[in-house]
Structures are given as C-alpha cells and as structure tokens.
Structure 1
C-alpha cells in the first residue's frame, strides 16, 4: 500500500528529473514547438515541490490534487492544463483513502490519461504525451519499472511520427524526425515513479 509520503516523494523526484532534463526538453521543443517546454515544466514542478514542502496533504489523492492545481496555476501553454488534468483526475479517483494499492493507482492513472486525451483531443500516434503515457500505464500491471521503460519506448517512437495535434502539427511533415517533448517529459514522470517505488529515491 502507498501512503501520502510515497506520492510526495514521487512529485519531488519528478521535480528533480525535470530539473536535470529541462534543457533537453527545451531543445526537443525548439524545432517543433515554442522552445519553452523545459522551462515551463521546471517552473511548475518547482512550485509543486514548494507547495508540498509547505503543507503535504494527508492522503495520496490530496497530494496529486495539490500538484495538479499548482501546475495549472503556474505553467503556461498547453503543458499546465494537460499535466494538471492528469494529476488532478488521478487524485480525484483516488479519493480520500489514506493508503492506496498499486492497482488503485493504475486505475486512477488510466482514467487520468483518458481525461487528458479528451481535453487535448489527441489519439495514439498523434505525436503527443499520450504516446508515452498509454504504453506506460498499460505496463503498470507488470511493474513500475516496466511502465517507465514502456513510456521511454513510447517517447522514442514519436520520432518518425507526423504530429497531428498541438503546435507541432502546424509543421506537417516537417515534424517528422523529432522526438516529442511532451512524450519525453511524460516518460520522466513515470521514470520518477519507478525510482521511488524501487527505493532508488
């Protein structure tokens, strides 16, 4: 069973991963986006960490709700609403339970990814964060590490895709050959989850 501290450590580990990879995320965003994905997420998750250090909610759902609200209020562009929706919906699904099972989390994240897809109007293969999240969540039933590896593979698989959603879609065929920054940052989120679950962080 996973308590609120596990989820707090997940968000802190995600912040550290974004800090480490923010320049790379911006580099990936430069040819197909606004060149601000890394800086936007860094600002947002730094605010999440500060909010959790100030007052960590007592439940897993509460941690994710706070994280989601913070991202929506601090991150510009599409990233804030999309990541905020992901975490808020998962938190809402987890409810007020003091501890949740791994299966509870898998089901909550599955519902959350569905909410992100509805918000963005994207589908698998559109070269978006869904291309990392969907295989990652599907592999959660195996293990957290399998989920992280599947998300990494999904992010890499966006390179030959043509973008059909988001700013990259404006480039048409010129979006081919670039790894999607949103899929890449989504893989960081699941990688941080695996590190915390494995006791690495």
Structure 2
C-alpha cells in the first residue's frame, strides 16, 4: 500500500474541496458563528497545497499528515485551526514509517477524533465537527472489522460523515460560538461538521480513484499491515 501517495492525494483533495467550498462554509458560519470558517479553512488549505508542491516534502504518510497539521494550526486560526491541526498531527503520529494498511488508517482516524474530543470537550449531539467525525470513524472501522476493503471503508465513512453533518441541523448548539444563540442555532448545519464531511468525502474519492488510472486502493483488504 503506497501510503505516502494516498496521503498526498488525500491532502490535495481536501485542500481542493475546502477551496471550492469556501463560500458555502462561510455562509454556514455566518448563520451561527463568526462567519470566517470558510475563509480560515481556505487559508490553511492553500498552505497545505503549496507544501505538497515543494521539491522536498515529508517522505512518509505520517510525516505528511503531521506537517499538514502544523500548517493548519498556524494558518487556519481560532478553534478550527487547533482542532484540525491536532487531528492531523495525531493521525500522523499514529501511522508507522513504512506501510500502514487500512486497519492502521482506521486507528489513525480514531486518534484524530480522540484529539478533537479531548481539545474541544465535545461529544456527539453538541452540534460540532464531532457529529460528523465520530460516525465516520465508526463506519470505517466497522467495515474493516467485518473484513471489507479500503474502498468500502472509506466510502462508508464518507456516507456516515454526510449523515452526521446533516444531523446537526435540528440540534441546539452546546459548544462554541453557536451555543451563545441558544435555540436560535436550531435549523442550521454546523460549519465544522460540513468541513469534516469534506475531509472524509475527499478520502473516499482518492481511495476509489487511486493516484493514477493504473492503480486503485479500492480493493486493498482491511488486514493489519496490508
């Protein structure tokens, strides 16, 4: 499994999704937050994209994700920068230096979620990115547990993230700026959950497409070390 190639593709895909979705994320955040989530995420994504274009970039998947996390922490700003930056750094730390495999990737995604929960002190139902991130990780690892392949796991995670993000609409926010609105936060999609959906949709897209037309990760079995 070419982990570094997949990590590069995933980061490029996520950066592209954020840049293309900047206006939507900003509109969502304008309804219940500071109105800067799209702008801030796009700024961080542009730094990640430029990092990937350098002549010398980190060599392993773990190093790539760690570097991306540092850039997001430095350039996104606010709570989103800390949460996304910490998530990527935790994922990077959870991946070994050689071949990770689908099971280890699931472990890395869990490590990222753990970092978000620890720093944000949020749980499912608080109307945050956790509402999209947690079900995505659960879906990914469930596919691996039943012997599915990486394509199935990533696709299931993306679908769960989408459903989780949509579930924030009827919620009343209990964390962050949106919580100040009380019941007025009901009826709005959480912007952090929306960008988290982009994160997992990008992973599924890159896994099923592969780094080039000659190769696809989709059939890689969810076996330790594969």
TM range (shorter): over 0.9
Provide the C-alpha distance between the structure 1 equivalents of 2:77 and 2:66, rounded to a whole number of angstroms: 18
Higher Cα Rg: structure 1 or 2?
2
C-alpha displacement at 1:109, in angstroms? 1.1
Partner of residue 108, structure 2: 108
TM-score (norm 2): 0.86
Partner of residue 151, structure 1: 161
Partner of residue 91, structure 1: 92
Partner of residue 165, structure 1: 175
Cα contact 1:2–1:102 (8 A) shared by 2: no
Cα contact 2:6–2:210 (8 A) shared by 1: no
Provide the C-alpha distance between the structure 2 equivalents of 1:108 and 1:68, rounded to a whole number of angstroms: 13
Listed as ranges, the matches of 1:30-69 within 5 Å are 30-54=30-54, 55-69=56-70
Provide the C-alpha distance between the structure 1 equivalents of 2:46 and 2:5, rounded to a whole number of angstroms: 18
Listed as ranges, the matches of 1:168-183 within 5 Å are 168-183=178-193
C-alpha displacement at 1:200, in angstroms? 6.7
Partner of residue 199, structure 1: 209
Provide the C-alpha distance between the structure 2 equivalents of 1:172 and 1:2, rounded to a whole number of angstroms: 47
Question: Which structure 2 segments of 5+ residues have no match?
Answer: 144-152, 212-226
Q: How many residues align?
A: 200
Cα contact 1:2–1:101 (8 A) shared by 2: no
C-alpha displacement at 1:150, in angstroms? 0.4
Provide the C-alpha distance between the structure 1 equivalents of 2:46 and 2:98, rounded to a whole number of angstroms: 25
Provide the C-alpha distance between the structure 1 equivalents of 2:63 and 2:25, rounded to a whole number of angstroms: 28
**What CA deviation, in whole Å up to 9, does each residue of 1:25-71 have, x standing for no partner?**
11000010011101100000110111121132111100100000000
Distance 1:200 1:29, change over 3 A: farther
TM-score (norm 1): 0.97
In the TM superposition, structure 1's runs of 4+ consecutive aligned residues that sit over 2 Å from their partners are: none
Q: Please provide the CA RMSD for this pair.
A: 1.1
Question: Which structure 1 segments of 5+ residues have no match?
Answer: none
Provide the C-alpha distance between the structure 2 equivalents of 1:125 and 1:2, rounded to a whole number of angstroms: 36
